[in-house]
Amino acid sequence: MSYDWNWRFLLDTVAAGEGSYLDWLLAGLGWTVALSLAAWALALALGLAVGTARTLEARWLRAPAAAWVELFRNVPLLVQFFLWFFVVPELLPRDLGLWVKQDMPAKEFVTAVLCLGFFTSARVAEQLRSGIGSLPPGQRLAALALGMRLAQAYRHVILPRALRVVLPPLTSEFMNVIKNSSVAYAIGVMELTFQARQMQEETARGLETYLAVTTLYFLCAFAANRAMAAIEARSRIPGYLG
């Protein structure tokens, strides 16, 4: 293929005159990391609660948890972004809706964190539920027989074990959050993909731009992978899992 590679444009001053294209990439990287971490924290907190609720006997907790999972698992992520961004504000009272649409601070970012966090929480919940399901039922019974209340059994026996079981799939999920955060460009969050589109328009250097962005996504996802692997190694209980 004929292509005249040129990487020096990264150091050129942007058309509007402040900073270089490299600065844009780094700013985009900052938003990608901030969005991914915030969404991941939200997803973990909600996912742990919902996933645990799905394994309880109390129907009034189990049913809404199941509904939560199915709602967020069965709708494409891009559509969810549009629903939160365009549709939900229309359902609010008029003044509040207008505030959300025009004056809410960091409105695109907040919307994106909620959307990506909810979406991922459904997946985390499912993984935790299957992790809890994979434990021998005797563990729970033994904990209760020792005189623990149900909450104590979950706190001291079931969850610590189940979480170790689901660490590998959670690693994938963490990496997915980073990659899925790219969809947030669609509602105007100025993350990596957004900056890439703008850069390639201004510089007409599409291939270099997307290669640079690909590398940055890869490094982020890989860093998440290594961090989770370190947690996995440190939390391992000898003799339980291979």
Of residues 18 and 57, the one with the C-beta less far from other proteins: 18
d(C-alpha 195, C-alpha 215), whole Å = 14
Return the structure tokens found at 39: 């969404």
- The least distance separating other proteins from the CB of residue 193, rounded to whole angstroms, comes to 9
- The least distance separating other proteins from the CB of residue 144, rounded to whole angstroms, comes to 53
Return the structure tokens found at 15: 């058309």
User: Which residues ranging from 52 to 111 are in contact with other proteins (CB under 8 A)?
Assistant: 86, 89-90, 98, 101-102, 108
Tell me which of 10, 185, 192, 224 binds other proteins, using CB under 8 A: 185
26: Cα separation from own chain's centroid: 20
Return the structure tokens found at 202: 């201004």
Of residues 54 and 205, the one with the C-beta less far from other proteins: 205
188 in contact with other proteins (CB under 8 A) = yes
Tell me which of 20, 200, 225, 231 binds other proteins, using CB under 8 A: 200
DSSP string over 1-51: -------GGGGSBPTTSSSBHHHHHHHHHHHHHHHHHHHHHHHHHHHHHHH
* Contact between residue 209 and residue 196 where contact means Cβ atoms under 8 Å apart: yes
- The least distance separating other proteins from the CB of residue 188, rounded to whole angstroms, comes to 4
Residues of this chain that bind other proteins (CB under 8 A)? 1-4, 14-18, 86, 89-90, 98, 101-102, 108, 185-188, 190, 194, 197-198, 200-204, 206-207
